[in-house]
Chains A and B, each alone.
Chain A
Amino acid sequence: MRCSTLLAILTVVLLYLVMGALVFRTLEASKERIKYDELLSARTSFLHNHTCVSPDALQELIQHVVSAIDSGVDASSSSNFTSRWDLSSAFFFCGTIITTIGFGNLSPKTEGGQLFCIFYALIGIPMFGILLAGVGDQLGTMLRRAVGKIETLFLRKGVKPTSVRIISAIFSILIGCLIFLGVPTLVFQEVEQWSLLEAGYFVVITLTTVGFGDYVADDRRHGSFMYKPIVWLWIVFGLAYFASILTMIGNWLRVLSKKTRAEMEELRAHATDWTQNIQNMSVDFRIPVQLDLNDPFQLQRRRRRRKRHRGTSHGYPKVAYVVPGLGESLEAEGIRINGHLFRSWSEAQSTLETMLETRSMPRLDAHFEVWPSSRTVSKSELRSSSRAASRSVSQYSSSTASGSQSESESQSERESRRSQKSRNSKASLPSPEASSPVESAEQEPSELNQLPAVKVEDTTPHPSLLDFFGENLAYIDESSDTLSDRVKPDSTSPHPPRKPKRRSMRRQLPNRSLLVMKRVYSSELQPPSNPPTPPPQVPS
């Protein structure tokens, strides 16, 4: 993670804390004041009614009582003494130590107890961590298998795979929440005579291992002998569930950020490649274009391309990235735009890489479908070119650095571009991809936030969003499978959910030569498949 992103996240966390502090203060301070006043009045009235008691003696008594309560002694005047350190309570206490919940309603007061607690926790916490990892794995697999069966049911009914995946993800979360949050809340409400809010509060505070201790299950020890162990079992499974959910969210965020960056970069690279091809075509067809030899990006890029793609059939005309019919250089605009977007070349590169791979290529086909599977060559080409592109982009952009949070920016960029694209697509030709950059560049030349490669966005935002999330969820599912599952040979047959429909592209012969170039482009550079084949299996 980059320094700037990290700083941004740190600032956000600090702001989050301050916000929480302010809210808690407004909510709680008044109530605390009220309670304090109540207590004070009770004290004064007591002293008033019982004048033989001196305030000092009362103070002393109160101090003793409070310290005894802190030690866990039950101060109600019951004559028979039941220790709070009986076996089941001590077991529960050890459980709270190991899980790092740490309620605190019971705690060791002797020095020996404290010392033993330290060493006990030193060994026990890692052990519990390992246990949690194991339980979480098994639980996750079981849950996923169960959900998988439901998924197959849905699939047989002919629902779209991506929506099935989303449904299954939501379903698994809901099942888990119901079992580990909903049922215990009701149980605690019944058994402990708490309100629904208090029971829910206790469940959440316990399962996130915060463990304040203001509410503790079976504190009065009314319940049966098995109550505490059952509560502890629930804690273990609930913790495992929470941990797996958190891992899933973390994976999702990671995938999201990676994808965003990679996609941006791919987009960028694709844009440059595509227009380079246009230049070639334009040279072939002798369409006059403008030159922009002083463009640093172009120079560097051309240099790198020449270095890398020695053998390719593309000529390297000294023309700029210009769409015929358009007066200005989109490339230059793109650089400026990218200068706002990317802070470092690696970001741009990675983003554009994947973006190019996943998003842009489908656009060449009218229905952004599956690619021919011979993508490796093209992918490396793209990546190298995109790397070059992004490197030069970043070198250019490093001088125009103006902010941070490129990730979120690029993320929001994509979203905005997505919506932008849908608007653009309406007014464009039957080949939206080709003409939309033209149109978008024409329509919003001042909107520097638009990449020139807006063209590669989807016309229909909703299926693409679903695709995006659905495929990410699939990735997360796979990445969080247990080792035993991973050991199984991964059938890397990318079953194409959608067939390539380039035939329809070829049939359309619009007036613009752009389409011709596009066809040529799509035949020359094999785009990556969609969904792309999974990466070579990471060794477990």
Chain B
Amino acid sequence: MSSAGRSWLFLAGFVLFYAAYLVLGALVFSAIERPEEERLRLDLASLRERFLNQSCVDGAALDLFLEKVLKANKYGVSALHNASGAANWDLAAALFFASTLVTTVGYGHTTPLSDEGKAFSIVYALLGVPFTMLVLTACVQRLMYLVTYRPVNLFQQRGALAPRVASVIHFTILMVLVVVCFFIVPALVFSRIEEPWSFLDALYFCFISLCTIGLGDFVPGEQPHQKLRALYKVSIIVYLFVGLMFMYLVLRTFHKLADLHGFTAFFHLPACEEDEQQDRVPIVEEGREEGPPEADKTATKPLDVASQTSYNTINR
């Protein structure tokens, strides 16, 4: 029972540490953002005063009007620019919305207004989210061969490095490449295309999107006179999916790395075993076992009893 007890202990300690982390974050955010908020609010109050002073509008009518504007704005209907504007639900935008829904990014810049839309979103999300995860996992599994297993073996064999060292080196290289390709370069592109965005804004957007947080304060393609808007939105969707895939890849590589170095076993966490069972090609490689998996790359190789699915008898 000691192992179970220890795992509970670890969990409790971990939860406490986590709560402390949250509190720390709350304090820092509070300290940083409150002054800015205060300033903005004072600005707004003074603007309102000025507006009311120089016009015949009374406060109540203005509030009423503003309420309507804000309510519409919340739903993505913009009252600005007196423009017919880009509709929020043309095909490209709806596709964008659907993809933010299934990738769980969920910007929230457009949300379903009607009851049927909400009900459909529920069903669509419940089906689409696991589905997307399945697809991404499948893609990542295949990508792992190309990106992780082969290079690590290469390092081991050609460079004659120890497996741990090889995996660490590979991981750092992978991280650098991913950061450059999926954060820096897209941030540059976005900051060029979207006028009001600075580089930091674009980088912040890339990070928030690829972690599927999706706050929604920055959403590309929402400028009123965006050229080639449909194409732009579709390319953002592609960026989201590919970026997510590589995020999962990095995560999985890190998991295997942690397995290798014994972290997961130390914390009594489930090891990254799915590939172990199927492929029997751990990140540490003798080179011998590489033959069969590389030979039939297209297979899910249940070539031996261990990886065979079989009925299990529940211990009763």
Contact = CB atoms under 8 A, between A and B. Distances in A.
Contacts of A86: 30
Nearest to B70: A69
19 contacts: A1-B141, A2-B300, A32-B89, A85-B33, A104-B215, A114-B201, A131-B14, A197-B118, A205-B121, A208-B129, A214-B108, A347-B299, A379-B305, A474-B313, A477-B314, A483-B270, A494-B313, A495-B313, A531-B311
Contacts of A487: 3
Given A208-B126, A483-B268, A62 B113 contact: no
Nearest to B92: A21
Interface in A228-268: 246, 249-250, 253, 255, 257-259, 261-262
A374 B103 CA distance: 48
B56 A52 contact: yes
Interface string B50-86: 0100111101010101111110111111111110010
A31 B114 contact: yes
Contacts of A533: 310
A530 interface: yes
Contact of A100 (B74, B119, B211): B211
Contact of B44 (A17, A23, A50, A65): A65
B77 A36 contact: yes
Contacts of B132: 13
A18 to B, nearest CB: 7
Contacts of B72: 35-36, 38-39
A57 B54 CA distance: 10
A210 B125 contact: yes
A155 B313 CA distance: 14
Interface string A8-47: 0110010011101111110111011101101110110010
A117 B295 CA distance: 45
A64 B44 contact: yes
Nearest to A534: B312
A98 interface: yes
B312 A42 contact: no
B217 interface: yes
Nearest to B216: A104
A527 B23 CA distance: 61
Contact of A491 (B18, B215, B303, B315): B315
Contacts of A358: 310-311
Given A36-B77, A121-B211, A127 B18 contact: yes
Interface string B85-107: 10111110011011111101111
Q: Which applies to chain A's interface (DSSP): helix, strand, loop or mixed?
A: helix
Nearest to B59: A77
Nearest to B103: A210
B228 interface: no
Contacts of B76: 32
Interface string B114-152: 111111111011101111111101110110000000000
A55 to B, nearest CB: 8
A246 B136 CA distance: 14
Interface centre among B104, B122, B217 (most CB of A within 10 A): B217
Contacts of A116: 28-29, 32
B195 interface: no
Contacts of B207: 118, 121-122
Contact of A204 (B21, B79, B97, B126): B126
Interface in A198-214: 198, 200-201, 204-205, 208-214
Contacts of B102: 16-17, 20
A35 B77 CA distance: 7
A94 B231 CA distance: 34
Interface in A335-385: 344, 346-347, 350, 353-354, 357-358, 376, 379
A91 interface: yes
Nearest to B116: A27
B75 A66 contact: no
Interface of B: 3-4, 7-8, 10-11, 14-15, 18, 21-23, 25-30, 32-34, 36-38, 40-41, 43-44, 47-48, 51, 54-57, 59, 61, 63, 65-70, 72-82, 85, 87-91, 94-95, 97-102, 104-108, 111-122, 124-126, 128-135, 137-139, 141-142, 200-201, 203-204, 207-208, 211-217, 237, 251, 254, 265, 267-271, 273, 276-277, 296, 298-303, 305-316
Nearest to A471: B311
Interface centre among A83, A104, A108, A534 (most CB of B within 10 A): A104
A292 to B, nearest CB: 29
B302 A93 contact: no
A28 B114 contact: yes
Interface string A501-540: 0000000000000000000000000000011111110101
Given A86-B30, A204-B122, A484-B3, A62 B37 contact: no
Given A198-B118, A262-B308, A94 B44 contact: no
A66 B65 CA distance: 13
A71 B37 CA distance: 7
Contacts of A135: 11
A57 B55 contact: yes
A311 to B, nearest CB: 21
B200 A115 contact: yes
Contacts of B301: 346, 350
A84 interface: yes
Contact of A118 (B28, B51, B81, B204): B204
B312 A110 contact: no
A229 to B, nearest CB: 9
A304 to B, nearest CB: 16
A95 B23 CA distance: 10
A167 interface: no
Interface in A466-500: 471, 474-475, 477-478, 482-484, 487-488, 490-495
Contacts of B302: 258, 261-262, 350, 353-354
A444 interface: no
Interface centre among B112, B126, B268, B310 (most CB of A within 10 A): B310
Contacts of A540: 265, 271, 273
Contacts of A213: 106, 108, 215-216
B113 A85 contact: no
Nearest to B99: A17
Contacts of B89: 24-25, 28-29, 32
Contact of B213 (A100, A148, A197): A100
Contact of B135 (A9, A261, A534): A9
Nearest to B10: A134
Given A51-B56, A103-B108, 19 more contacts: A3-B298, A9-B135, A28-B88, A31-B114, A32-B77, A46-B57, A50-B57, A59-B80, A65-B69, A81-B41, A114-B201, A138-B8, A155-B316, A204-B121, A205-B106, A250-B134, A478-B312, A483-B3, A534-B313
